[in-house]
Structure 1
Amino acid sequence: MAIQTPANNPSLTAAEVAKLLVEPLEQQSTFLSAGPQIIDSSGPVRVPRIASGASANFVAAGAQITDSNVTFDEVQLLPSTLKGIKSLTKLSNELIRESAHTVGALEQVVQTRLVTDVSNVLDAALWDGTGTSDTIKGILRQTGIQTGVLDLADPDSLIDGLAAAQGNHVSPTHWVMTPAAFAAIRKVKVGTGDRRYVIEPNTIANGVGFQLFGLPVIVTDYIGNVGTAPGKARVALVDFSKVVVARDQNPSVTVLDQTFGDYDTVGIRVTARFDVAVLQAKAVTLLTEA
């Protein structure tokens, strides 16, 4: 009696392999996981702040105290004109039925994929969105942020960035940089004849994530380079306690099973609407290569 083996029956195992729908390689969302303050609102948001405080002086007993005023302004988010991020994909019912034996519930797979795609667009906008045409203006584009010069061959430039932030009375919570910039900083050697690393490799990782000069490092493509290729690298220092995100709608899925009924087709729509602002502009220090 012949024993049936996988080698003799490859078609019996192929279906199991086919169920592993391969996703593209991409970075994970980083901005919201960094811990900004989140305000849920379906309408415009106004965050009041003190623009300048009162003055205080030494006054002798019985002398008149000079009065002074506290001035206020506000940060505005989610204006009514701000656009949302949206995506729509249509699948024929034949495709949904015929794919069931290979990738399982195709609708669920596509829903998850669309949410990821929308989240990626949102992440890029929160970091470095231009704010043009009623879109999100990212924190690296905000008016009044601190700037400085970056030298990836000299870690002292990062310390200078820290000093600039501390001079503005800011306590940064995170470094933000691209994988290439982080690698360049890590590869700096003591000297031409000394191949030791300036930054000890074992002190960079804390067992959970990367750290540099005592602060967590967010590695993301969305901080990008500026200028023409290869462009000028950028590194940011951010105090996320002073970053606020207004959230009108998380990435939300709607299945449209009737809209395209005359095509025997199902539509899957994903929408999201967010905005971001920096409560104190100097909470962001952006270093750029000379």
Structure 2
Amino acid sequence: MAINTGNATELLQTQVAKVLTKPLEAQSVFLASGPVIYDTAGPLRLPSLGGPITDPGWTGEGETIPTRDVDFGDVSLLPSTMKSVKVITKMSEEIVRQAVVSLETAVRQRLVTDVASKIDTQFFGASGDGVETPRGLFSWLGTQTVAAAGGLTYDVLLAAWSKALSANVNMGSLKFVVTPREFVTLKGLKDGDGRYLAQPDPTLDSVYRAFGIPIVVTPRIPDTTGGTPTGRAALVDFSQVAVARDLAPSVKILNELYAGTGEVGIRVQARYDVAPVNPSAVVKITGITIPAA
């Protein structure tokens, strides 16, 4: 069913999935990096291995198999107190009538851009309490840390990789996450023969790798605050990061609210939460010196 201002007040869930949910997975840098996404109608609890794995031992034929308790923890996502991403976007009726693309396409482009920006800013951030707002990557507890104590170099990335390898990571899901500023710094580093160390993946357009690990570039990673701010980066096994997504996001066409100005409002409400299932599979790189402007 096509979307237009005459026949749609609130979009059906199938329309919301087409207009917002699925395109958002592709446009949001965080969601596109490969976290495990769970659709849920309410609070979600995921089991996590809370302690060291108990040695199962060797048991001979006919011998009693020993019983061992395993310490499981849990990760709680999307509590009832979690706030929603809410935005109202206005479009003039002239644009709606004269657009060379359908209203559905226009709605999708506008909403996906707005919501993806909000989600990436929060999920890659250093704020949030996990109660009313999602904790950002740089506020997650229990993660590992590498101090750069200078500019971001391949030695620092290698140190982060070394720590990640000790955390039972999935090598195929590891990704370096850096800002455009740090990426340009890495891209400019050369070996002794003058060749750039960061090489593009010949099988994927616009994908660069370090030690075979993809480099994800996003401007949503915040610098620290204070008198001498420093930069941040991270190495993340996204297969051990969980995202909870509300089963019932809503998109509503507001025909009357802005009638006096000849505009149509589009309101979106969606709830998301994020947390690492295995925090030690996340290595934060801190203390990166910011080059002088």
Deviates more, 1:250-259 or 1:163-172: 250-259
Give the counterpart letter for 1:125 in structure 2: Q
Task: Mark the structure with the bigger radius of gyration.
Answer: 1
Compute the TM-score of the two structures, normalised by the length of structure 2.
0.74
Shift in CA distance, 204/82, structure 1 to aligned 2, threshold 3 Å: same
Task: Please point out which of 221, 228, 248 is paired with 2:219.
Answer: 221
**Which runs of structure 2 are paired with 1:71-220 in the superposition (5 Å)?**
71-90=71-90, 95-97=92-94, 100-101=97-98, 109=106, 112-128=109-125, 130-132=127-129, 134-150=132-148, 151-152=150-151, 154-172=153-171, 173-190=174-191, 196-197=194-195, 199=197, 201=198, 203-206=199-202, 207-208=204-205, 209-220=207-218
Shift in CA distance, 269/99, structure 1 to aligned 2, threshold 3 Å: closer
Shift in CA distance, 129/271, structure 1 to aligned 2, threshold 3 Å: farther
Provide the rounded CA distance (Å) in 1 between the counterparts of 2:38 and 2:287. Answer: 35
Which structure has the higher relative contact order (CA within 8 Å, separation 6+)? 2
Compute the TM-score of the two structures, normalised by the length of structure 1.
0.74
Q: After TM superposition, give the deviation of residue 249 of structure 1 in Å.
A: 4.9
Q: After TM superposition, give the deviation of residue 255 of structure 1 in Å.
A: 0.3
**Which runs of structure 2 are paired with 1:2-21 in the superposition (5 Å)?**
none
Provide the rounded CA distance (Å) in 2 between the counterparts of 1:188 and 1:139. Answer: 27
* C-alpha RMSD over aligned residues: 3.3
Shift in CA distance, 156/249, structure 1 to aligned 2, threshold 3 Å: same
Shift in CA distance, 243/197, structure 1 to aligned 2, threshold 3 Å: same
Q: After TM superposition, give the deviation of residue 115 of structure 1 in Å.
A: 3.2
Q: After TM superposition, give the deviation of residue 212 of structure 1 in Å.
A: 1.4
Shift in CA distance, 186/251, structure 1 to aligned 2, threshold 3 Å: farther
2:271 matches 1:273: yes
Q: After TM superposition, give the deviation of residue 72 of structure 1 in Å.
A: 1.9
Shift in CA distance, 57/73, structure 1 to aligned 2, threshold 3 Å: same
Q: For structure 1, which runs of at least 5 residues remain unmatched after alignment? A: 1-27
Give the counterpart letter for 1:75 in structure 2: V
SS at match of 2:106: helix
SS at match of 1:48: strand
Q: After TM superposition, give the deviation of residue 266 of structure 1 in Å.
A: 3.6
Q: After TM superposition, give the deviation of residue 114 of structure 1 in Å.
A: 3.4
Provide the rounded CA distance (Å) in 1 between the counterparts of 2:193 and 2:235. Answer: 28
